[in-house]
């Protein structure tokens, strides 16, 4: 059964949080899919992941490029899983995957300053917990470290 993690972004934006989570996933040997809702967000994430750090390289691609199945991190707006990822990141209010149990983890990142994003995350939380799946809720403390709140 998939582990569902909700990350409430308040102290840092998605662009600051996502790269480190992707690096940790790759270090664990996981292939990753990041699903956005709009092509604009997808393009912005793609651009950002190439330049987010001078000290490291994050191998990734989009599902618009040749051989998406070979990408360790694949960016998409579609619900498919062409690179056989074990972890899926949902940003920008992307829908929960169906079936969800093909993943080891599903990570929902949502902007705590956006009322619509909060409402969407609450709806997803209720859907996950009502279905009997395990869900955890994470929030950053004053020092920027993630703390499990529920």
**Global pTM value:** 0.94
Task: Give per-residue pLDDT as tens, 54-90.
Answer: 887 889 999 998 899 999 999 999 999 999 999 999 9
3-state SS track over 91-124: CCCCCCCCCHHHCCEEEEEEECCCHHHHHHHHHH
pLDDT value, residue 29 = 95
Residue 21 burial (CB count, 10 A): 18
Indicate the angle between helix axes 39-51 and 14-27, nearest 10 degrees: 70
pLDDT value, residue 86 = 95
Is residue 45 very low, low, confident or very high in pLDDT (cuts 50, 70, 90)? very high
pLDDT value, residue 57 = 80
Task: Give per-residue pLDDT as tens, 88-124.
Answer: 999 999 999 999 999 999 999 999 999 999 999 999 9
Contact in structure between 103 and 88 (CB atoms under 8 Å) = yes
Q: Is the pLDDT of residue 140 over 90?
A: no
Of the CA atoms within 13 Å of residue 48, those in its CB half-sphere come to: 16
């Amino acid at each position: 059964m998939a582990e569902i993690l909700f990350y409430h972004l308040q102290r840092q934006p998605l662009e600051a949080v996502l790269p480190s989570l992707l690096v940790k996933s790759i270090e664990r040997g996981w292939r990753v899919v990041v699903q956005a809702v709009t092509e604009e967000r997808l393009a912005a994430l793609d651009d950002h992941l190439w330049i987010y750090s001078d000290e490291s390289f994050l191998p990734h691609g989009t599902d618009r490029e040749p051989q998406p199945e070979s990408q360790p991190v694949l960016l998409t707006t579609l619900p498919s899983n062409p690179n056989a990822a074990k972890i899926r990141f949902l940003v920008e209010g992307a829908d929960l995957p169906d079936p969800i149990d093909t993943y080891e983890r599903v990570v929902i990142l949502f902007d705590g300053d956006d009322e619509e994003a909060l409402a969407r995350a609450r709806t997803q939380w209720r859907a996950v917990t009502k279905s009997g799946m395990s869900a955890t809720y994470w929030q950053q403390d004053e020092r920027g470290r993630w703390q499990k709140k529920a």
